[in-house]
Structure 1
Amino acid sequence: MPIAELQVYRVEEADVTGGLCLVRCVGGTARSGQVYAAGQSRVWLRGIERHGRAVDAFGAGHTARVRLAGPVVALLSRGQVLTSVPPDGHGLAELEAWLATGPPLADEPLPRTLRSLAIGGMQDERLPEGVRLRWGRVALAAAYRCAAAEGASGLVRGIELAFVRAYLLREFGPGPGGDPAAVCREALALIDLTPAEAAARARVWRELPRERIVHLRRIRHLVRWTGAARPYLAPGDPLALALDAWSRVGRELP
């Protein structure tokens, strides 16, 4: 797909948060949510209006009024060309600054793309430890954004968070990699069954409705990833005992 490019005709209004511009698309297709490079800065395309109507996109050769977010909008000049940033073209520092603003879920990179970028950076052993940990924090933020965008349950979100937290604990240990007790406590709080109840359902899982089978599988995945915290819990710790009980049951879940 061609990279979208917008040429600025004029900035009609602007403040420190962004503004409204009249632009012409000179390449590709411009869509709401895209990120554009303006020199070394970034702007976000938050809305498009053509012929008095809001639209999701417009193509090369057409003009539109666009709502752009970012303080640099006030500095855009006539004739300046903004180039869309591809999904893998976002740097770590840019993503951290972007996430700090609490951006709309429709902004690029979209939640699943953001998660893929972050997991890749977190697992890249060529990078310094500190950089990988920063990517891990972005991956955690991406898990929350994925859940919000997809309307996922707390349990589904918890599985995604547990996957990232388990990796960070295994690779970097307690402290830099997280708090094992907090990881365990938060995960176990998401389970709405006791180990005994789950074990009873596991014995007859083939007879259960599909949604209950899926629920048991999600519990198994959550317990599996949370197990990375177990070696760091003290013997006799109630959290350790609870996790041990769930680990035994987890082997029986579908």
Structure 2
Amino acid sequence: PPERCLICNDERQYIGWGGQQWTTLEEMKAAGHENRVRKVESEESLWSIDTRPRFGIGQRALLVQTEGGNFLWDCISYIDGETVQRVRELGGLHGISVSHPHFYGSIIEWSHAFGGAPVYLPHADKQWVARPDDAIQLYEGAREVLPGITLVQCGGHFDGSAVLHWAEGAGGRGALLTGDTISVVADRRWVTFMRSYPNYIPLPSEAVRGIVEAVRPYWFERIYGGWWQNDVEEDGMGVVERSAARYEKWVS
């Protein structure tokens, strides 16, 4: 492995108290890790993928099924033959993207497992790519990657932090998949915005306003966050606007 992990040494992340640690997919498999693929109950065409036993911070990937193909959002680190087979049964993958560089991990492994599926990453965060590959396609601003699936660069947590707008989500009322760009909190009537979650570094008000303006053109009833049931079920845009106003009140 390299001498240092670039993303771990950034102020938004940290090196564990026991020092830098590395692993491989082979070591994870030997340790008994496996992925769990579950249908998100409130949607007909959305699947959650997470790793058991819990790995890292335990986040999930979200697989969106559309008539134009399947798209994977917020790729997780672990992938094995069983996971590949299950995803193929659901229709395979036609594209991959993530909300921010902390989840870049195994994106190229996932891409190669599905015939070099394109990996869409924001140009603003290209310096965090540790494994260059021909599958990577850089974008700026907003990009429709499949019919009804649009990546929206919002900034904030990272300069390229993004969300995925799914026009047919929530029964056609729209859904936003957000990761750490817009984070659903324990009280799921609210969301929040941070530069660093583990180190509690807030964002300036202007950055939060920028996030709100970036998603304003897209109607969405629901918000799907980075963990199982970490979701806002209704009035998604209203939740974002009210949460941003509350945030500004307390950081001003």
TM-score, scaled relative to structure 2: 0.30
Give the number of the structure whose alpha-carbon radius of gyration is greater: 1
* TM-score, length basis structure 1: 0.30
Greater share of residues in helix: 1
Q: Report which of the two has the higher share of strand.
A: 2
